[in-house]
Structure formats: structure tokens, C-alpha cells
Amino acid sequence: MNFTVAVYQRKLAGGTLEWRTLGLGAQRDVTLRGQSTVKLESQLRERLQRHMATDKPADLRCYSLARGMSLERPHLELTLRGEQRLKVSGRFPLVLAPHQRTAGAQLVVAYHPQRPLEWFAVEEGAPLAEQATRFFRHAWADCSAWELERLETDGHDLIRAVAFSARVPTLLDGLQSRRGPFDDLDEDPARRGGRSQGSGGKGGKPNGLGLLGTLGTDLTLRAADGRLPRGQPRPELRDAFGRLLGTTQLLSLVALGSSGAGKTTALYQLVYDLLDADDYAAHGNLDRVTHVVSLSGKRIIAGMSHVGEWEERVVTLLRDARAARVVVWLEDLHTMGKLGQSRDSTRAVSDLLRGPVARGELCIIGEATPAQWDKLREDAPAFADLFAEVRVPAATPAEALRMMLARARELEATSPVRFDPPAFRTLLELAQTLFHGTALPGAALAWMSRLPRYADGDHLVDQDSVVDLVSERTGLPSELLRPTEPLSPADVRVRLEERVVGQGEALDAVIDVVMRIHAGLTDPGRPYATYLFTGPTGTGKTELAKALSDYLYGSSARLLRFDMGEYNAPDAPARLIGDRFRPRGALTEAVRQTPFSVVLFDEIEKAHQSVHYLLLQLLDEGRLSDAEGNEADFTHAVILMTSNLGAEPQASVGFGDRPASADNVTRDVKAFFPPELYNRIDRVVRFHPFSAEVAASVAEKELTQLLARRGLLERQVFVFTTQSATARMVREGFDPFLGARSLKRYLERYVGHVLAEEVAGHTRAEMRIVRVYDAEGEYRLHVDTLREAEPSGGELRLLPLLDRSPRELVDELPGALRIIDSLLAGPLLEQAVSELRKHLPQASEGQQEHADHVHRAELVRGELQAFRDRLEAWVHHDDWMEEGLTELALETFEPRSGWNARVRLLHPRYVLPDAPRLSRKDTLLALAETWFLERATRAARDAAQHSVFVELLRVGQGRNRRVMARDEDLFGWLIEAYRSGRGVLVAAAVALPDGARREFGFDELGQLGLRENHGATRVVLKFVGLGVTDFFRGEEGCHVRTSMLSGSEVVRVRLVPDGDDATPLELLLRSDRERADFERALERGDVPLPPDPDGLLPCVRRVRFDPPLRPGELSPMEVEDFRLGTSGSHQCRRLADVLPHYWSLRASERLPEDA
């Protein structure tokens, strides 16, 4: 029977809904709370059905909705005289419920929905508020103020009708039933347990969906609540589904189409259409609609380990489905032909479902790709023939664009973002290019919901947002995703040569892949490239695969490596692509999870011959299907195979007949591989044995990896090696026939042993700089400890101002203006002007010394005057505006036309722009600049104060060189900050890890930030400007950065006075000579040692910072400045945003000698 009850609904804090039934009586009233109306309705039905199961037939009349019931909200003024006198004023909800008193008379009662036992009869014609006031004045006399507050209404409460169906008791249920001759069978525990899993009674309708509702998900409940994605409707698919499911007998169907074509969305729309067909909007009774339950085959057989258990569960599910109006959505319909089979039984789930589906007792819907459906037809053809096939074609680009626009409007309505129209075209092009294995519109719509998180600071989703999203999800660098952005092969080579050295031919082949991907010239139906790497062991084949994975996809975790020595048995294909017992193969599952990857088949010649034939389809069509029919897409992968075929261990190191070797490699590869497989390899890439020069580079790389071990990083031990020590490592550790692996073993045995003794034998927590050198035939260590700088002890005049308000800070500017005025009118500047007049005649004749004096004098006066003009504009702007708005002249004249006019004349000087808006940061910087100029003016006559060399040294080897190459380390951040600090950068020189030295003049400084200069070990910068030496003196020392991602790093900053017409390059070469002298003295054991050009200076600043992962975001940074004796926490994007704060503090420092 169908019933309808009234429910009072109100909203609590946090959006929680409270439901209370009305008119059911104290024993039957139900109160529920929750967020979803559908879940509340489902819980209410279950509670009421349990009540009705114990009610007598005569009591069921209370479950009918009283006609004419309404909700009123009168305003009541109550004075309650209980234990405490209370006056309450507010709106209170009242339920007016009509009752039939006699055949022609009706009684209307009123009560508060939260206190239904307190009611009064409503008098016709009398105001409701007056009647309620008289009644509740006494009824609520004992209520507290808190209780009365809960009884008020916010105006958003309402009465809603909830309809449901239930099996009601009848008089026949009270009769005692006779036992039949077969009732003893029910005492079998196995049979009783099987039926207990269902929820239906004998011949009756189950309460709910029973086991079907437990194992599955009721999509109809989610659709009724609006939580089921509706997507963009496609009329042709809705019509096709309506013809099959719009009849009295529901027909089973399957949606067939490519991945991403919209099969799932179409079936979601079908759930909504079934609700509309059952007229749910009119009656609101979920018990009267057809429910669509989503069920997974794996959940059906989960936990079923004995023969017959899963069959009994399927029978129970079928009984529950027959007893209710249910459509079962099998999520993995294509697996039903094999699901349930085992070594003990060949029965599958499809065998038990085939009969009910054929008889029309069960309606099943599902989705599958054509390959998956062909697999089901192969496994269970009779079961597959029972389904009507509905083809879901891929959307055209125009249709996909229309759906993207509709989705964008939905996102703009629910989140504060705006979509730039060109972003749709970019997303559509990238979807078609990168996700051609996924059909439209799924390939494009899948990214739409994630785009708002990549909006810029103005909440605009543009083309850059799309590129950032796709780059993060696929791992492809943004340079490859922007066809208009230039990409230089030289830049790619620099990145790859950091990992692989001495293999120019192999690097050329890999760079060619990268450039073709960037240009969009790869075959969309095949992998990006298929290369065979051949050559002796230890020459970098696997390392180049890792480097390519890092560059293309951003992580070596996207390198899928398969050691083919493990796949040399006849079962190798089954392990790679799966079989009937383990349908998910190792290869297909790995690529399905990570389609953008480098797939490496290591030592391919060791694989079983059947694996070679398995690769034919992969290399030709870019796809493989596992035993379940699931397709793995290889079109976004680079396929690499390594082999030792053609390697000639007897060849000399670095020499030999290269053309003959190439012929040998080609001959051996052709002889080994089947012709059809060899013909699908794009390129055979040869790796050559290392020469002596390359061996030294390999030694440095292997040593760098050793020095980057966790034990050294965590204990903050930074290691150098001398040139002689490195030469000995190459000489003794490198074997030309074993490659880099022999050198790695040597380093582990000898160098690693010495470092382990040093690290394990000390418990000191401070940083240590360790230099490995060769002395008396063994490796020894020279240890230097990093200590903190002593505080300068000066007064930081800016520090107490940091807590002041912006208005109070502005009040300090007039005092700063007076200081600048006193400097301009003081004797120091007068002396500078006198010197200007003295040296001007000689400077005009071209004498450099006199020209420098003139330049310094002009520099001091110019900076002071420019800063004074800014200060004056900030301080006197309001006064100028008031004076300018004063009426200067007012006259009346009579033009020839005869009309009079009043003209207000303003002097042009007083027509000023709007007042400048000084931020708190700007005001603090202005005050710090005042104190700095005060100190710089005193030293204006000292030439050494206005030109200085700043040397930055990267301390230690073995840090994260990939981060260094992207210029995302402390070394690069300091250079960036110094260039934007005090003075003008006029020249620079860099020392690169390969020993090269480069110098940049003033016109070439733009090249300093080029990629090939990143990762430099030493940089010398020349700055010229007022007081630059004093400015950078606070930076002299060691700067330490700690990071969660890349460990610790130390950069030493040293100042070198400008003199003797030195250049940055000359200073670099001088440091090289001094380092060589120090290392020779160290190896000879000289005492005392000469000065160490790489020696440590006290630590002046420690920074804890990891840059933000996405553009526009902020990351926390903690800074300790030991020389200033202060620290702070900041939110920033880069170090250059924070350092000006500490520079300002130092500029405000008043030292004892300044007093």
C-alpha cells in the first residue's frame, strides 16, 4: 500500500536538516537529522515500515496526510511567569491541522511542531497570534530562555509530504499457520542462512533491496537527491534507451563505444529518465519508481572461497531483484563470462544470469568498449546475445566544444573563476593530440573540473592554466606543450649531458625524439619512438633511459623497466599481458596506470622468442589488450630496448674502426630479431666504450651520486675532492671493458669507506666541509666546521617600527625628509661639489682618474636629490593639493554674446595627480633608505665603497644537480636577488662544472641567465653604485638553505675590493691558481697551509624554503639572520621577495662607531 505522511523540516547550523513527523502520535513520531533529503527520506521509510509491521490494521489511518494542513508563523509577544520572569518576542511556527469532528463540522487544532502534545483549538474569526499568546503564556511558563530560542523560526522551515510504500498487516496474519510436510527443510542451517541474506518474507516484497542494496549502490537515490552527474544530454542516445526501457518489459542493453565517448554519462541520464517516466516529481515516492543499482562483479564473489558460495549469493541477488522494480547496472559486464571460474569449477556468473535475463525476470544494463564486448562474446556468446547493443559514437569537435562551454558555465556559477575563450581551443587541441586513445568529449571534459585550481591571480582560466594542468598530470614539460614556445636542441643537450656523458650519437637520437614531440610530428597511432640501444655494459644505456624519463615526464618514476632476463620462459607473454587466472598483466597494467612513460625492455635478447612476437602489435599499433580485453595505450610512451648485441670487448678504449663496428652491430641485430620486428624499430643507437677523457667525467658523476647519499645529506656533510684524488680514482677504478660500474664499485670500496668512518665516528650536529685528497697512497680527509657569525651588536632602528600602524609609520617621513635636507646642505656634500669643480677640467680631457671623482660626486648628489623629491611628494602632497584648490583668481567678464560667466583659474603647478598610496612595506623601505644614504654620504669620498666584486661559491659536491640545472637552488636565488638589489651589475664571470670559464660584459649580462650557465660552481659579479660595498658587506659569509625536497646547500659569499683594473674572469683564474697551490700543500703535508680560496666563512643566514609547486602560489619561508640577531617567517614565491626586509634592517643598524 502507498502512504503519505507530513514532515516538518527546519535547517540547523552547518546546513544540517532536521525532520519531525507530524500527527503520528508520541509513540510513532520520528526525528531525524542529516544533510541529504533523499537519505533522510530513506531512513524515515525504514523507521515507519518497522512501526507499521507491529501496528494493528485499525491504527494505519494515522499514516494518511491530513488535507488542509498548513504552517503559520505568527509574531508572538510572550511574558512568561514561571520560576523566572521572561519576556520573549519573535516569530514561532504553528502547525494548523484540521480534524473531522462530525459529519458537517471540522475542528482545527494548532501546535508547535517541536511540542505536539501542547495544542489548542483554533477559534474562527479570532486572530491566531492572540490565541497562541494566551495559550503558550501558560504552556511554556517553565521553559528556559535557551529552550524558547530553539522554538523560534528563521522563516525557512516548511512542511513537506513524504510518500512511501509498505506491506501492511492484515487480519489473516493473526491466524496460526499450519506446518507443511516440507517445512522441516527450512531447519537446514545452510538453506536458512542462504535465505537470511535476502530480506523478503514468504511471498512478500522485501523491505528495501536486501543484499542487492548492501553490495551495490542505488543510483536512483543519488539521482533523486541531485548528486548523480547528469552531464550534457545527447538526444539520439536518450531516444535509443527510451525505446528499449520505455516498454512494460524492460530489455537488457549494453552501451558500446570507445573510452571517453560518453557511455557512463548516457547511462546516468537514463537513471534520470526512468525517474521522470515513473512521475517521481509528482508523487515523490521512491518506492513506486524503478531503481537502478550499480553492482560490481568483484563484489559479488568477494570473500567467496568455497565451492557453491558465490552461486548462492547470486541466487539471493536474483531473488531480491525479482521482488523489487530494479535495473542492475553491472560495472564490469564484459568480465561475466570468466568471473567465478576456478580450477574446481568452470561455471561463471553469466551462466546463472543467462536464464533470468532471457525470461525477462532481470534487466541488466552495462557499458563496454568494442574490444571488451568481443571478449565477452568469445567467453559467453549465449549471454552476450541477450543484450541489445546501443552504439555510443564519439562526439565531434564541435559537439565537444559545445559541451565544454556548458560545463564552463556551470563551473563559473559555482566557483569564482572566469574562462578565457582561447583556453577551450587549447584544451581541445591538447586532448585530441595527447589523448587520442580516449574519444571526445571525455578527453576534454575530464580536465574541465580541475582547471579552476590552476586559475591565475585574477581567477582567470587561460591557455597557460590549461598547459600547467596537462603538464602536471602527464609529466610532459610545458615547453613541449606550447608549440609556439621555442625549444633549442642545445638546451635539451645540456639537460641530458648532466646525466650521460661521452655518447654523442645516443644523445642526438634522444634529442630528435624530444624535438619531434614538441613539433607535433610523431605518428599518433604508434609510440613516440622505438629505439634499440646497443653497446658494451656500463656505457650509459639505462642511465639515458632514466634521463629521458626525467626530462620528458618529470620523474624517473615514469620509467617502466622490465628485466627481460625474468621473461625467458614460455609463460612470459601471459605474465606480461595476463591470462584467464591473472588477467591483469604486468606490462599492460603498468602502462594503463602510467600511459605517459618510458618503457624499457632491458637486455631484450634474453627474453623468450614469443615475447618478440608479442611486441609486434605494440610497436605497430601502439596498443595491447590484456586477458580481460582492457586496452593499454602505448601511443604516449617511448619504447626503449637495450642489448649487448654487436659489442666488441676487444676494441681499444676510445679508438677503433667505427664504420666497421656499426656494420657489426647492424649484422648481429638483423640476425637475432625476426625481420618483422626489426622492421618496426625506428633506430638502432650505438653506445661506444668510454675514452680516457670521458672516464674522468664519469668518475665525477659517480662521485657526485656517492656524495649525495642520505647519510651525508642528513648529517649536513659537504664534500670536495681534489684534482689529484679524482685523477687517481679514474686511474685505479675505471675498467674500459666494464664501464662505469667498475668505477662505482671502486668508489664504494675506498672513498665510501673513508667517508663512513668520518661520519659514523662523530656525533657533532654542526655542518662540516670535508675535502678528500690523496696523500702517501691513501685517501685522507681535511675537515672544516661551519660556525655561526657573531651578532654585530648594533641598534636596529627599524625593528621597533615594525609593530606600528601604517599611519604612525607615515608620521616618521617628515623626520626622514629633514635628514636628507641636512645631508644636501651639509659639509659632506659641499666637499663633494668642491671636488667636482676641481676634477671637472681634467675629466673633460679624458683622464680616467679625474672622471671617476666626477662620477662619484654626481652619484652622491643625484641619488640624494632623487630620493628627496620622492620624500617631498609623499610628505607635502596633501598641502599642495589644498593650496592648489584655493581660488587664485576670480573675475567676471561679458563676452560678445551677452552672457555672463564666472571663471576659476588654477595655477598649473597645483594640478597634481592623486595622492600616492604608500603601503606599509614602501614606508619601511623609505625609512631604511634614509639611514643608508646617511651612512653612504659619510663615505662618499672613499672610492672603494662604490665598486666591489661579489663572489658566490657553491660549497660541496653531490647536491641535487637536477634542481641546480633548473636554477631552483639557493645559488641561483642569491644571484637573482643581488641583481635586483643595490647598485648596477656591470660585469660577471662564471665557472662551470666542466672547467669552462665564461665572462660577460655589460652588454652581455642578459646571457648570464641562460640554461647552459645554470649549475655553475662559482660566479663573480661586479657592482658599481653608491655604497655598494657597505651594502654587500652584510652578505659576506656562508648562506645555508635547508629543504624537504633537495636536502641542504651552502653558498659562500665573499667580497673582493675593486682595484688594479681587475676583471671578474681574472678573479676566477686567480682562485683556480690559489686552489691548486692549497691542494698541493695539503697533499705534501705542509705546515702551516696557505690560505684556502674555498675556505668557509661564518654562517650569516639560514633559510628553510621549498618553492611553490605551481605558479602564483606562496610557500612558507623561515629565515635566521645571525649577524643581525633576528629571525622571521614569511609567505613568498622566491627569496628575492624576502631579502629586502633584512637589507632594510641592516641599513637601519646604528653601530657604535656611527654614534
Same domain, 247 and 348: yes
Same domain, 591 and 671: yes
- The mean pLDDT value for 22-44 works out to 86
Same domain, 384 and 408: no
> Looking at 891, 922, 953, which one is the last position of a domain?
922
> Looking at 644, 662, 689, which one is the last position of a domain?
689
Contact 66, 97 (CB under 8 A): yes
Same domain, 40 and 123: yes
Q: What is the pLDDT of residue 905?
A: 44
| Residue ranges with strand state E in 626-763 | 631-633, 638-643, 683-686, 717-721
CB atoms within 10 A of CB 1109: 9
DSSP state of 848: H
Is 184 among the domain residues? no
Same domain, 425 and 504: no
Angle at 113 between CA 108 and CA 119, to 5 degrees: 45
Distance of CA 31 to the CA centre of its chain: 43
Q: 888-906 burial, b if ≥16 CB within 10 A, otherwise e?
A: eeeeeeeeeeeeeeeeeee
pLDDT in tens, 330-348: 999 999 998 888 877 888 9
Same domain, 1015 and 991: yes
Is 588 among the domain residues? yes
Instruction: Report d(CA 420, CA 408) in Å as an integer.
Output: 10
| Antiparallel, parallel or unpaired: β 901-905 and 997-1000 | unpaired
Is 225 among the domain residues? yes
CB within 8 Å of 236: residues ≥ 6 apart: none
Residue type, 839: H
Residue 359, domain CATH: 3.40.50.300
Q: What is the pLDDT of residue 894?
A: 45
Same domain, 1005 and 1105: yes
- The mean pLDDT value for 742-757 works out to 82
> Looking at 668, 689, 710, which one is the last position of a domain?
689
Same domain, 772 and 822: no
Q: How far is CA 55 from CA 166, 168, 172, in A?
A: 12, 8, 14
Is 801 among the domain residues? no
Per cent of the chain over pLDDT 70 is 83
| Antiparallel, parallel or unpaired: β 460-461 and 363-368 | unpaired
pTM for the full model?
0.60
Q: What is the pLDDT of residue 1004?
A: 81
End-to-end CA distance of the chain: 98
Distance of CA 737 to the CA centre of its chain: 45
Is 117 among the domain residues? yes
pLDDT in tens, 810-824: 888 888 888 888 888
Same domain, 92 and 160: yes
Same domain, 1064 and 962: yes
pLDDT in tens, 517-537: 888 888 888 999 999 999 888
Residue type, 507: L
Q: What confidence category does residue 390 fall into, taking pLDDT thresholds of 50, 70 and 90?
A: very high
Question: Edge to edge, what strands does the sheet with 291-295 contain?
Answer: 217-218, 291-295, 326-330, 363-368, 253-256, 388-391
Residue 995, domain CATH: 3.30.70.1660
Instruction: Report d(CA 704, CA 493) in Å as an integer.
Output: 20
Contact 528, 480 (CB under 8 A): no
- State how many domains the chain has: 7
Beta bridge partners of 1130: 1117
| Residue ranges with strand state E in 977-1046 | 984-991, 997-1000, 1018-1024, 1037-1043
Residue 766, domain CATH: 1.10.8.60
Q: What is the pLDDT of residue 84?
A: 72
With helix as H, strand as E and coil as C, how does 340-395 read? Answer: CCCCCCCCCHHHHHHHHHHCCCCEEEEEECHHHHHHHHHHCHHHHCCCEEEECCCC
Q: What is the largest CA-CA distance in the chain?
A: 133
Per cent of the chain over pLDDT 90 is 26
pLDDT in tens, 279-291: 888 888 888 889 9
Is 479 among the domain residues? no
CB within 8 Å of 850: residues ≥ 6 apart: 839, 840, 842, 843
Is 1120 among the domain residues? yes
Same domain, 459 and 505: no
Q: Helix, strand or coil for residue 5? A: strand
Q: What confidence category does residue 207 fall into, taking pLDDT thresholds of 50, 70 and 90?
A: very low
Is 484 among the domain residues? no
Same domain, 222 and 276: yes
- Residue 247: domain span: 205-391
